[in-house]
Amino acid sequence: MRKLVLALAIAGSIGCKHPGSKLEGHWKGTRAEGIGPGAQDAANAFATQTEITAKGTAITITTPGGKPVAATFVIDSENASTVVVHTDRDGAANKETFGFTDDAKTMTWRMGEGRTITFQRQKD
């Protein structure tokens, strides 16, 4: 009986841990930060037309003027406020970092050199 209880507990804990659970959902860009003053308006326009959809280990990024780009991602590290991933398209050497607010309604994609795009979780 103990083995059965232990097996069910382990299976339950594995089932509850969904890869990319913080990242999962539909996200719409709201603003860009860390951009020089001469490019801020264009960067904000780009950000507000950018969307990310993640489900399971699949991610699709849609940017203005381009076709949606789909890939499979792997979580390299995850904690309460950050998820670091790489995609099959870009390889393990090219990591993407996403930060999350405590309520998981706002996400920041850290683009490097202090540049970020902030996203809001969308209700589908």
Ordered by start, the domain boundaries in the chain are 20-122
At residue 11, the pLDDT reads 32
At residue 50, the pLDDT reads 97
List of the chain residues with pLDDT < 50? 1-18
At residue 44, the pLDDT reads 96
CATH number of this structure's domain 20-122: 2.40.128
At residue 20, the pLDDT reads 53
At residue 13, the pLDDT reads 33
Percent of the chain with pLDDT over 90: 77
> Which H or E element spans position 16?
helix 2-16
